[in-house]
Structure 1
Amino acid sequence: MIKIVTDSSCDLPIDTLKEFEIPFAPLNIFVEDQTFKEDIDITPEEFWQSMSKSHELPKTSQPSPADFAGIFEEIQKKGDTPLCITISSKLSGTYQSAVLGAEMTGSKAIVFDSLAGSISHGIQVLIAARMAKSGATVEDVLSALRIYRDNVKIIIPLATVENIVKGGRLSKFQGSVVNILNMKIILHGVNGEVKLLKKVRGNKRFRAAIIELIEESA
């Protein structure tokens, strides 16, 4: 039987992961001088609160290969095949950690690169979990994941550039100019990477641009 594994960046609610019995490897989150295991030591709500209060953008690091190796071993002890779906390899080293975790244990785990983040990654995890529960083969699950991955359109509208400034991608001066001009930025996912798609001025144009992009994609 296939057993789905993921990492915490999929942004699925813990209750959903428990419902489908999906084990996950938590990313490490660094908020100023504190370290947390995502979705274990800190909830999403607590993270957002900490981020808004922090003067620096929180940083993350991928789970270790050992984190994945331990999960894979437990699954294989029960005679199941681990299928691990990770955040995009172009956004994090998590995919490589999972690959190394499989190699460390001689595991037969299959590691799939979602080429996405957040809920687009999470949807792939759900697709796989539902198919595995219904008895689908590994080949069928991977085929469905590739179809989704190749056709999904990811749009990332930024209502504020505050975190981009905190992260150093924009200077404080540039951030101030953007705010004064009421510029809104829309990013999108391109082959697993995040790139600039469009810049518009004003909230009305921002909303109109988002709706237009959704209509074009649909």
Structure 2
Amino acid sequence: MNKVQIFSDSTCDLSKEVIAQYNIKIIPLYVSFGEDTYQDGIDINTKQLYKQVERSGCLPKTAAPSPGVISEYFKPYIEQEMDLVYIGISSKLSSTIQNALIAAKEFEEGRVHVVDSLNLSTGIGLLVLKAAKFASNGVSAINIANNIRNLVPNVKTAFVIDTLDYLHKGGRCSGVQHFVTSMLKIKPIIHVIDGQMSVGAKPRGKKKALSLLLNMIKNDENYLDPDFVMVTHSEAPEAAIILKDALSMNKGIDTVLETEAGCVISSHCGKGTIGILYITK
């Protein structure tokens, strides 16, 4: 049986340390300001992204890697007689999965397994870490892919949006919605359901919003997969400390990982966004 290499894309928002520890290979998406294009997490980081937005007054465009680019990432590992499992951002949010499926067809059938996470950020990352554990235990690529597909519906993803500026600039909320939520200090909670973003509760104030995130995971504590719980944020370190401290009190969680959202995710959600992500049994 061939060894297995796990792949994901830069929207999985895992830290460089975790990526190295679990031997995960990352394919970057792109962010563009005008004619300048950058590889997410390679040529530009989140702090630089926000500075560029402040200077230009406009949001970047984001784009998936082409099938040809993805194929070039896969090729060296195929040549090393490895089988690949690629887990990427939801096909309902990006064309990355479709492009990966096209790239996979360039190789012998069964060598590259593409899994649609139907998620984003560390909702993908959780599945990637599970896949990496399976790979380290000698599970075959096809079985890893099938196991991960079975876990996809069990990933819970919820983010608090601190400001609607980015959703407004990106055309994802109206001027009226932007004005009203800003005036009332509403911090909407965004869930990922069936691969798409959906607005949930609309609490007033960040403190109330964070409490709702913690209540969500508390309601699932009897069904919680203990391996990892993610606290992922975009330039919201103080809120991350609050959530991590609260989650560390839960003896049913083995590891709470804090990660920072990359450029693609941050360009859509904006500064101050923070979420809790986990898997249920």
TM-score, with structure 2 as normaliser: 0.71
2:40 and 2:101 mapped to 1: Cα distance? 20
* CA distances 1:116-171 after superposition (whole Å, capped 9, x unpaired): 11111112112111221221222442343134322121111112111111111223
| Aligned residue identity for 1:27 | L
Unaligned 5+ segments in structure 2 are 222-281
Deviation at 1:198, TM superposition (A): 1.5
Deviation at 1:6, TM superposition (A): 1.4
Partner residue of 1:6?
8
| Aligned residue identity for 1:145 | I
Aligned mate of 2:130, from 113, 127, 131: 127
| Aligned residue identity for 2:86 | C
Alignment of 1:111-122 (within 5 A): 111-122=114-125
Partner residue of 1:77?
79
Indicate the larger mover: 112-121 or 148-157.
Answer: 148-157
Partner residue of 1:21?
23
Indicate the larger mover: 6-15 or 166-175.
Answer: 166-175
| Aligned residue identity for 1:39 | G
Deviation at 1:173, TM superposition (A): 4.1
Aligned mate of 2:95, from 89, 93, 96: 93
1:161 and 1:217 mapped to 2: Cα distance? 28
Aligned mate of 1:191, from 189, 194, 204: 194
Contact 1:32 1:54 in 2 (8 A): no
* Correspondence 1:164 to 2:160: no
Contact 2:84 2:141 in 1 (8 A): no
1:155 and 1:119 mapped to 2: Cα distance? 11
Q: Report the structure, 1 or 2, having the larger helix content.
A: 1
Indicate the SS of the match to 1:200.
coil
* CA distances 1:51-87 after superposition (whole Å, capped 9, x unpaired): 4554222221000101111122211111111111111
Unaligned 5+ segments in structure 1 are none
Partner residue of 1:141?
144
1:87 and 1:99 mapped to 2: Cα distance? 13
Deviation at 1:33, TM superposition (A): 4.3
Contact 1:10 1:119 in 2 (8 A): yes
Deviation at 1:16, TM superposition (A): 2.9
1:202 and 1:71 mapped to 2: Cα distance? 44
1:52 and 1:195 mapped to 2: Cα distance? 27
TM-score, with structure 1 as normaliser: 0.90
Query: Which portions of structure 1, spanning 4 or more consecutive aligned residues, are displaced by more than 4 angstroms?
Result: none
* CA distances 1:85-133 after superposition (whole Å, capped 9, x unpaired): 1111111000001011112345631111111111111121121112212
**Count of aligned pairs:** 218
| Aligned residue identity for 1:165 | H
Indicate the SS of the match to 1:9.
helix
Partner residue of 1:42?
44
| Aligned residue identity for 1:194 | M
| Aligned residue identity for 1:20 | Y
Residues 178, 67 of structure 1: CA spacing in aligned structure 2 closer, same or farther, 3 A cutoff? same
Contact 1:159 1:184 in 2 (8 A): yes
Contact 1:69 1:104 in 2 (8 A): yes
Contact 1:32 1:56 in 2 (8 A): no
1:51 and 1:14 mapped to 2: Cα distance? 24
1:13 and 1:208 mapped to 2: Cα distance? 25
Residues 148, 54 of structure 1: CA spacing in aligned structure 2 closer, same or farther, 3 A cutoff? farther
1:154 and 1:207 mapped to 2: Cα distance? 14
* Correspondence 1:30 to 2:32: yes
| Aligned residue identity for 2:159 | I
